[in-house]
Amino acid sequence: MTVGPQDEVSQELMPDRSAAEPDQEPGRGPTEWLDAPVGVGPHPLPWPTDPRYDPELLEQGDRRNVVDHYRYWRREAIVADLDTRRHPFHVAIENFGHDHNIGTVVRTANAFAAEAVHIIGRKRWNRRGAMVTDRYQHLLHHPTVEDLVEYADRHDLVIVGVDNVPGSVPLESAELPRRALLLFGTEGPGVSEDARTAAAMTVSIAQYGSTRSINAGVAAGIAMHGWVRQHADPAGAW
Ligand SMILES: C[S@@+](CC[C@H](N)C(=O)[O-])C[C@H]1O[C@@H](n2cnc3c(N)ncnc32)[C@H](O)[C@@H]1O
């Protein structure tokens, strides 16, 4: 059935604003909202002797948000292993306002094994959405776009702005460079003038609704997956 503008939206489809929000403890993330603990309990004896294993986790169990391959591993061992599997793309997000999307960007960059995440502007950012994934991710801070550009030049990275601005090309058909540094803007103003000038190309995500733009964290996920579809080996995914 096609719903036209003349059709009334059924009340059943409207959000129930009277329903109480789930009673969530502040500071706990979505994977911790469940009553049953996630992860694994204490490791059965005998324990593995590989130095990558953490005796404390083996003894107490591992409730961290990590894939099974890394269960009971020390954090440094996980980072070292990820360093052998990271993809050659980087991600940058401008932090000129109070942006709550940076945690989401960091978490997604971790999921797609981006080489590094760059924060431009303010150093402080809200880590909640990162769900602790920032511990396993290389994070770099740049006070200015100019500083990021110098980094990109030194590391042979091509800056690709991501925003729906005049002059951008559709992400859906764009060829993303393998050594791409995908740069996202702040909620509100979007990618800054300096960043737009610095970008070798800017890509936009096609939209079909009434909103001017999508959430920066969502846009980052779509753009990163665009890179993954073009350059990553599906056989290497978990
Ligand atoms: C909420 S948008 C704000 C700017 C937007 N250009 C506007 O006119 O409203 C914040 C960031 O999300 C990303 N973004 C949102 N929608 C996008 C789209 N359709 N295509 C590409 N990036 C988008 C961009 O990185 C942008 O800088």
Distance 100 CA to ligand 1 centre (A): 14
Do 97 and 185 reside in the same domain of the chain?
A: yes
Beta bridge partners of 114: 87
The model carries a pTM of 0.87
Distance 216 CA to ligand 1 centre (A): 6
Do 106 and 211 reside in the same domain of the chain?
A: yes
pLDDT at 188: 86
Residue-wise pLDDT for 89-120, tens only, equals 999 999 988 778 999 999 999 999 999 999 99
Point out the domain boundary residue: 43, 62, 81. 81
Do 212 and 139 reside in the same domain of the chain?
A: yes
Q: With respect to residue 12, please indicate whether it lies within any of the assigned structural domains.
A: no
Q: With respect to residue 6, please indicate whether it lies within any of the assigned structural domains.
A: no
Average of per-residue pLDDT across 141-156: 98
Using a 6 Å cutoff on CB, does residue 205 contact ligand 1? Answer: yes
Residue-wise pLDDT for 207-223, tens only, equals 999 999 999 999 999 99
pLDDT higher at 168 or 21:
168
CATH no. for residue 109?
Answer: 3.40.1280.10
- Residue 117 belongs to what H/E stretch? strand 114-121
Do 38 and 94 reside in the same domain of the chain?
A: no
Q: With respect to residue 19, please indicate whether it lies within any of the assigned structural domains.
A: no
> What's the structural domain count of the chain?
2
- Ligand 1 atom, smallest distance to 188 CA: 3
Is 213 buried (19+), middle (13-18) or exposed (0-12) by CB count in 10 A?
A: middle
Distance 146 CA to ligand 1 centre (A): 21
Average of per-residue pLDDT across 112-139: 94
Asked if the model's pLDDT at residue 14 lies above 60, the reply is no
Using a 6 Å cutoff on CB, does residue 213 contact ligand 1? Answer: yes
Average of per-residue pLDDT across 28-54: 81
Do 115 and 223 reside in the same domain of the chain?
A: yes
Distance 164 CA to ligand 1 centre (A): 6
- Residue 33 neighbours by CB distance under 10 Å: 11
pLDDT higher at 5 or 63:
63
Closest CA to 133 of 30, 49, 45: 30
Do 113 and 91 reside in the same domain of the chain?
A: yes
- Residue 210 neighbours by CB distance under 10 Å: 5
